[in-house]
Amino acid sequence: MYRKNMKKILVTGATGQIGSELTLELRKKFGGENVVAAGRRRKPNEMLLATGPFIYLDATDKSSLEKVVEEYDVDTIYHLAAVLSAAGEENPQNAWRINMESLYNVLEVAREKGLTRVFWPSSIAVFGPEAPRVKTPQNTVLIPRTIYGVSKVAGELLCNYYFLRYNVDVRSVRYPGIISSETLPGGGTTDYAVEIFYEAIRRKRYTCFLRADTVLPMMYMPDCINAALTLMEADPSKIRCRTSYNVAAVSFSPAELAAEIKKYIPDFVCEYKPDFRQQIADSWPMSIDDTAAREDWGWSPKYDLASIVKDMIEKLTRRLAEGLL
């Protein structure tokens, strides 16, 4: 894969839940030096620092973004920096500003400098209660109730516009809740599905902020990364959707997840105290129709609920034994 004069990949939000693992995967594939990790955390984890360049970057500042793209000869951006759904409701003005200004800057820089490719994640949060909640179709009514969802719908339309108007090769998937063992998510409605593992292993108790029967679409990190890499490698002629592709893996409720965890930790107790995030979850799909992604670029997830739980418990138990949890 590595070519001598290869240009560089920039990952914004590289210290976040997806960014921290995607950056390492890209570095394995393309060489550490060729993948610039950018974030706003002053102290990123050691793996990020040890495997390639790390820079501080606020993507809402266009001139800083331009400088980084020039300095490192960047030709591909994975733009992951964003404020998620629950955090967004706490400060909607800030969420709109960060999510929209940074995406606009990335698309503008891609246009001006003729970048090769851009990846930007959208979310199941683009859907609202008016959309069918079971097997939610690729093309349906998008009337989200969160500012995060509003920014994702606007972002999808902006990406599509930049493709049609300026031929910017921007690609996107609508991620469901992402479960991962390395970096905690921050500020999302689906975060319970990660927190529950840490608490089950450490304390054998968890208080879930959603009702026991709240079914949401979810995905394990290896599938999440695979979606981004497969889509980015696909031949441009295969990408028929330039807003964002539905991608699905599994759907389950907190009660179903807790029951699966109990198979490994029999005395685990899960309690339920729904808060404001319940309303957000109730406005989102329960399952997703991802036929278009499967047909166009061969999307296919590998992990189901049982294999996610097995892998998470193994990984986190090991980290606890090593004193790293």
CB of 85 or CB of 136, closer to ligand SER:
85
- Residues contacting residue 253 through CB under 8 Å, at least 6 positions apart: 212, 213, 214, 215, 216
- Could you tell me the smallest distance in angstroms from the CB atom of residue 126 to ligand SER? 9
- Taking the complex as a whole, the smallest distance from the CB of residue 20 to ligand SER amounts, in Å, to 15
Stretch that binds ligand SER, among 48-56, 185-193, 261-269, 297-305 (CB under 6 A): 185-193
For residue 87, give the amino acid letter.
A
- Closest to ligand SER by CB, 20 vs 34, is 20
177 binds ligand SER (CB under 6 A): yes
Residue nearest to ligand SER (CB): 188
**52/188 with CB nearer ligand SER:** 188
Burial of 246 (0-12, 13-18, 19+ CB in 10 A): buried
Active site residue 245: no
Q: Which residues, including other chains, have CB under 8 Å from residue 102's CB and lie 6 or more apart?
A: 12, 59, 60, 79, 81, 82
Scanning 26-34, 188-196, 220-228, 244-252 for contacts with ligand SER by CB under 6 A, the matching segment is 188-196
Residues 72, 78, 148, 192: which is the catalytic one?
A: 148
Q: Which of 76, 189, 214, 251 binds ligand SER (CB under 6 A)?
A: 189
C-alpha–C-alpha distance, residues 112 and 110, integer Å: 6
State which residue, 188 or 285, has the beta carbon closest to ligand SER.
188
Question: What would the DSSP string read from start to end of 147-190?
Answer: HHHHHHHHHHHHHHHHHHHH---EE-EEE-EEE-SSS---S-SS
Quote the CA–CA distance of 325 and 45 in Å, as a whole number.
14
User: Which CB, 65 or 124, lies closer to ligand SER?
Assistant: 124
**Contact call for residue 175 and ligand SER (CB under 6 A):** yes
Which region among 52-60, 182-190, 252-260, 316-324 touches ligand SER (by CB under 6 A)? 182-190
Q: Per rule CB under 6 A, is residue 251 in the interface with ligand SER?
A: no
209's tokens: 């902020």
Q: Which is nearer to ligand SER, 94 or 167 (CB)?
A: 94
Helix intervals (H) in the chain: 17-30, 46-51, 62-71, 85-90, 92-113, 147-166, 192-203, 221-233, 254-262, 277-282, 291-297, 305-321
Give the closest residue to 148 by CA, choosing from 204, 87, 209: 87
Residues 49-88 that bind ligand SER (CB under 6 A): 84-85
Task: Answer yes or no whether residue 125 interacts with ligand SER by CB under 6 A.
Answer: yes
Q: What tokens does 42 get?
A: 């002053």
205-208 and 117-119 as β-strands: parallel, antiparallel, unpaired?
unpaired
**Which range in 61-69, 129-137, 184-192, 308-316 contacts ligand SER by CB under 6 A?**
184-192
Query: What is the set of active-site residues?
Result: 148
Using CB under 6 A, list all residues that contact ligand SER.
84-85, 123, 125, 148, 175, 177, 188-190
